[in-house]
Amino acid sequence: MKLAVLGLLLLVPLTSALCPRGCSCSHDDLLSVKCDGAAHRSIPILLNPQIRSLSLAGNQIARLDADHLRLYSNLEYLDLSGNRIREIPAHVFQSLQKLKVLRLGGNNVTVLERDAFVGLYQLQSLDLGGNKIERVNVNTFADLGQLYFLNLSANSLHFVAPSAFHGLRLVSELDLSGNKLDAVPRALFAPLATLRQLDLSSNLIAELPSGAFASLSQLATLDLGRNVLGSVADGAFNGLVSLKSLNLSDNMLRRIPSKSLTSLTELEVLDLSFNSFSELPTSAFDGLSSLKRLVLAHLQNLRAVHMNAFSGLFKLLELDLSRCPLLEAIDEHAFEQPNLLRSLNLSHNRLSRLSHRLLDWEQLEALQLAGNPWNCDCDLLRFLPATVRRLHVPGVVCAKPEAVQGRAVAKLSATFCTDFSATAMSAVVVGALLTVLSLLLCILFCLRSHFSCLQPGKDEANTSRTPLYGRQTLLDSLTYEKSDLLSNKCFISSNPSPVGSQHDDDDYYSTVRTPTVYESKYAFYQQHLPMPVAPPMPPMVPPPNYPPPPSAADESYRIVAQYPVPITEL
C-alpha cells in the first residue's frame, strides 16, 4: 500500500510536465489531451506518447508534420478542425493505424492527394467539411475500408471521379452538401452498397437521370433540397427500396414527380416545399402508402388542391400546407377517407372556406389556421368553432360577413349561425313581398292607362274604302284655334287641291309639308326658318273610279281635317 502511494506521488510531477500550457490533460483510461484555442502553430511534441485522444481545434496550425504525428501512434481520436491547414501530404497519417476519428473541417485544404489517407485502416469517421476542395480524384479513399462516415460538405466540389468512393465498402453516411455539383453520375454511388444517409443539398443539380441511385438499396435518407432541379426522370428513384425520408424542397419543380415517387413504397417523410407547383392533381402521391409526414409549405404558385389529391395516403399523420399565398380552395374530397391525419397546418394561405366533409375534425390533435380570410358562413360555423376551442387554435379570425368581421371564430357558435340565418331569411321574405307588391302596382297602372284602348269599336276598320268626310264640311268645321303643339306639328298648304271631284287627287301629297317640331319657346324663331324642300312629284296616273263622295249636306259625315281626298279608317 505504501509503495502504491509512493508511485502516485512520483507520477504527479511527471504528468504535469507532459501537459503544455493552455491544454487540459486527463490521465484516465482514455489518456485524452485537449488544447483547443491555445494558439499552437504546430502539433505539440511534449505530450504523453500514450495518449489516445488529442484535440487541437481552433489553433493556428498551417502544416501537418508526419514526424510529429508519429509520436502518438496510439491515437484513436484526432481533431485538427478550425486551423489553417492548406494541404494534406501523402502518407502523413500512415503511422496512425489505430486512428478511428479524424476531423479536418474548417481548414483551407484545396487538394486531396491520392495517398493522403494511406495507413488509416481503422478509420471510421472522416470530416473534411468547410474546406476549399474542388476535386475528388480516383481511389482517394481506397484504404478506408472501415469508414462509415464521410463529410465533404461546404467545399467547392464541382467534380467527383466516378470511382472516387471505391473501397468505401462500409460507409453508411455521406455528406456532399454545399458544393457545386451539377450532376449525379449513375456510377458515382455504385460502390456504396451500405449507404444509409446521403446529403446532396445546396448544390447545382438540375436533373436526376433514371437509375441515379439504383445501387443504394439500403439508403434510408436522401436530401436533394436547395438545388435547381427542374426535372426528375420517371426512374430516378428506382432501387431505393428502403428509403424512409426524401427532401426535394427549394427546387424548381413545376409539377409533382408522381411517376418517380411511385416506387417509394416505404417512404415515410416527403418534403416538397419551396417549389413552383400550381396545383395538386388527382392521385399526386399515388403509391406512397407508407407516407406519414408530407410538407408542402411555401408553394408560391399553388392555387388549387383537386379531388383525391391525397388519395392512397392511408397512413398520413401530418400535413403542412401553409404559406401558399394563392391557395384559395381545397376540394372537399381531397383526402383519403377514412384517414389517420392528426396534425394539419393550413396557416397563412388565402382560404376562406373549409368543408366539414374534408376530414374527421374530431380526430385532429394539432391544427393551425391563422392568417386566412375566413368567410364565417353557416357551413363553417357548424363545425369549426368547436374544433378551434378544443385544440386552442390561435389567430382564427372572420373576414366575412360584415356582421362578424374581425371576430374570433372561437367566440362564435352555431347559435349565432341560426340567428343570422333567421335574420337573413326574414330579409329575403320582406324583399320578395315588396317585389311582388311593386309588380302588382305596375300591372294595375298599366291596365288603367290603357283602359280606353280596350273600348268596343275602337279597333273596327273601314274596309269598304268609302270616303267618310267631305272637304267642304271639313273646312266649315275648322273654327277652333290650333294650339302651339298642333301648329308646330302641321302646316296646311295655302294652295290645296280642288275638292268636289269624285276621285282622289294623287298629287295632293305635294301640298302638305311637315317641318321639324319645335318647342313653343322657339316659336318666334320658327317663322324665320326656311321651309323644307318638298319631296319630288309622283308621276301622274289616271285616277281610279271611286264611288261619288257624299254631299256636304249629308249629316252622317263629319269633317276632321283639310285634305284634298277623302280619308278612310283602316
State the virtual CA torsion across 427, 429, 435, 440 in degrees, nearest 10.
-150
pLDDT of res. 22:
84
Asked whether 72 and 93 are in contact (CB, 8 A), the reply is no
Asked whether 77 and 104 are in contact (CB, 8 A), the reply is no
**What average pLDDT does this structure show over 283-297?**
96
Burial code (b: 16+ CB inside 10 Å, e: under 16) for 377-407 equals beebbebbbbbbeebebeebbbeeeeebeee
Asked whether 133 and 111 are in contact (CB, 8 A), the reply is yes
Residue 11: other Cβ atoms inside 10 A: 11
Cell numbers of 17, please? Answer: 510536465
Q: For the chain, give the mean pLDDT.
A: 82
pLDDT in tens, 365-423: 999 999 999 999 888 888 899 999 999 999 999 998 888 898 999 888 766 565 555 55
Domain layout of the chain by residue ranges: 21-180, 462-523+545-570
- Tell me how far apart the 2 most distant CA atoms of the chain are, in Å: 174
Tell me the whole-structure pTM to 2 decimals.
Answer: 0.71
pLDDT in tens, 492-550: 444 444 444 444 444 444 444 444 444 555 555 555 555 655 566 666 666 666 566 55
pLDDT of res. 487:
46
pLDDT of res. 447:
78
Among the residue ranges 254-268, 342-356, 422-436, the one predicted with the least confidence is 422-436
The 3 state secondary structure assigned to 199-238 is ECCCCCCCEECCCCCCCCCCCCEEECCCCCCCEECCCCCC
In this prediction, residue 169 has a pLDDT band, given cuts at 50, 70 and 90, of very high
Among the residue ranges 169-173, 323-327, 381-385, the one predicted with the least confidence is 381-385
**Rounded to whole angstroms, what are the CA distances from 523 to 150, 481, 527, 531?**
108, 16, 7, 14
Asked whether 235 and 209 are in contact (CB, 8 A), the reply is no
Name residue, grid cell 287627287.
505
Identify the CATH homologous superfamily for domain 21-180: Ribonuclease Inhibitor (3.80.10.10)
